Amino acid sequence: MADNSNSEDVPSDSFETAKTDKEKLTDQVMQNPQVLAALQERLENVSHTPSSYIETLPKAVKRRIDALKQLQVKCAHIEAKFYEEVHDLERKYAALYQPLFDKRRDFVTGDVEPTDAESEWPSENEEEEKLAGDLKSKVVIAEKEASADEPNPKGIPEFWFTIFRNVDMLSELVQEYDEPILKHLQDIKVKFSDPGQPMSFSLEFHFEPNDYFTNSVLTKTYKMKSEPDTTDPFSFEGPEIVDCEGCTIEWKKGKNVTVKTIKKKQKHKGRGTVRTVTKQVPNDSFFNFFSPIKVSGDGESLDEDSEFTLASDFEIGHFFRERIVPRAVLYFTGEAIEDDDNELEGEEEGEEDEEAENDPKRECGQPAECKQQW
């Protein structure tokens, strides 16, 4: 029998040599500070991932976590009921606000002239307030004499149109040819759905008789949902607008600003003759607001542009309801716009501070910088 000891020794020596080389290479790599830092950061990220931590828990603990999630879903359904009752409260108080809004419309249109008591408001001119007795009376008399020569238009001209012009979100929608129509806008109202009906609200745009359409009121209804999504119940954060419906505008002949007429020349393939074809195509206009994109009921998803347009529509409807209608005079004067800008700046600063404080790479120089945010 042949002696195989030599043939067995050779592979063993080669294996030991390869192993030694591998260990040397590993030692060299592990001595590289950059490699160690990258490895450490990766390990820290893995260890700090909530999902990876949950995966390491015993089955009994995971079972209890599932039970907590069931409780969380029940909390979401209770929260949905809470918002339904909030909607009922909004409807109740809308009825209390309405007489004041009706009076606002009367003052704006000039159907009613406010009394001296109703039009009394603190003056911003401090020097005028410091004027004493007789001197102040003389100033008032002089002002009345001066105002007698001033024009006295009916009501507050272009009240709602001025609001559209002041608010960026609305002015971006308004084209030059929309402006003369919006000058006929006399009032905007918010109507809530009746008790027992699906949650919704409607915007009513009331117009005086004009040369553009025969409607006296244009409406836009926003349908809302206040219930957790069965596929993602933890995403519930309150009622959301899910669809909207406009109305048909009865345009007078040649006055429809939502379409434009174009002429196009066509050449006959056989005879070579040329003819001019006239057709109507969509035109940018605020009044497209009353012909919104319909949400598909068969589950088909919208394209990206349509989703963006629909989301913007929902945002505008919500802004009319929450800001414009309740605080119209302040958007007319610009005071509410300044408040909105200040509020937005405060939110942006708060977000920047929060991002800085939550940055894991940011070093804590002072205790305040490391304070937990609640």
Q: In sequence order, what DSSP letters do the residues of 299-346 get, joined into one string?
A: SPPPPHHHHHHHHHHHHHHHHIIIIITTTHHHHHHTHHHHHHHHHHHH
**Do 101 and 189 contact (CB within 8 A), yes or no?**
yes
pLDDT at 123: 73
Domains of the chain, start order: 83-116+156-230+239-295+303-341 (3.30.1120.90)
**Do 207 and 184 contact (CB within 8 A), yes or no?**
yes
pLDDT at 372: 32
- The tally of CA atoms less than 13 A away on the side-chain side of residue 136 is 9
pLDDT at 238: 83
**Do 307 and 294 contact (CB within 8 A), yes or no?**
no
Reported as type and span, the H/E element at residue 181 is: helix 179-182
Highest mean pLDDT among 47-56, 261-270, 314-323: 314-323
- Does residue 233 surpass a pLDDT of 70? yes
pLDDT at 361: 42
pLDDT confidence band for 371 (50 / 70 / 90): very low
pLDDT confidence band for 231 (50 / 70 / 90): confident
Q: In sequence order, what DSSP letters do the residues of 182-224 get, joined into one string?
A: HTTEEEEEEEEPPTTSPSEEEEEEEE-S-SSBS-SEEEEEEEE
Least confident piece of the model among 156-165, 268-277, 290-299, 359-368: 359-368
First to last CA, the chain: 83
pLDDT confidence band for 134 (50 / 70 / 90): low
pLDDT at 12: 55
pLDDT in tens, 151-190: 889 999 999 999 999 999 999 999 999 999 999 999 999 9
Reported as type and span, the H/E element at residue 265 is: strand 259-267
- Angstrom distances, CA of residue 338 to CA of 53, 184, 277, 325: 47, 26, 50, 17
pLDDT at 364: 38
The stretch 29-42 carries a mean pLDDT of 68
Mean pLDDT of the chain: 80
- The tally of CA atoms less than 13 A away on the side-chain side of residue 153 is 7
Percent of the chain having pLDDT more than 90? 47
pLDDT in tens, 303-313: 788 888 888 99
- Does residue 297 surpass a pLDDT of 80? no
- Does residue 337 surpass a pLDDT of 70? yes
- Does residue 367 surpass a pLDDT of 50? no
Distance of CA 89 to the CA centre of its chain: 23
Distance of CA 115 to the CA centre of its chain: 39
Percent of the chain having pLDDT more than 70? 70
**Do 201 and 192 contact (CB within 8 A), yes or no?**
yes
CA dist 131 and 248 (Å) reads: 57
**Do 190 and 321 contact (CB within 8 A), yes or no?**
yes
**Do 214 and 205 contact (CB within 8 A), yes or no?**
no
pLDDT at 355: 58
pLDDT at 92: 94
pLDDT in tens, 53-94: 888 888 999 899 999 999 999 999 999 999 999 999 999 999
pLDDT at 366: 38
CA dist 193 and 200 (Å) reads: 5
**Do 163 and 153 contact (CB within 8 A), yes or no?**
no
CA dist 244 and 315 (Å) reads: 12
Q: In sequence order, what DSSP letters do the residues of 69-113 get, joined into one string?
A: HHHHHHHHHHHHHHHHHHHHHHHHHHHHHHHHHHHHHHHHHTSSP
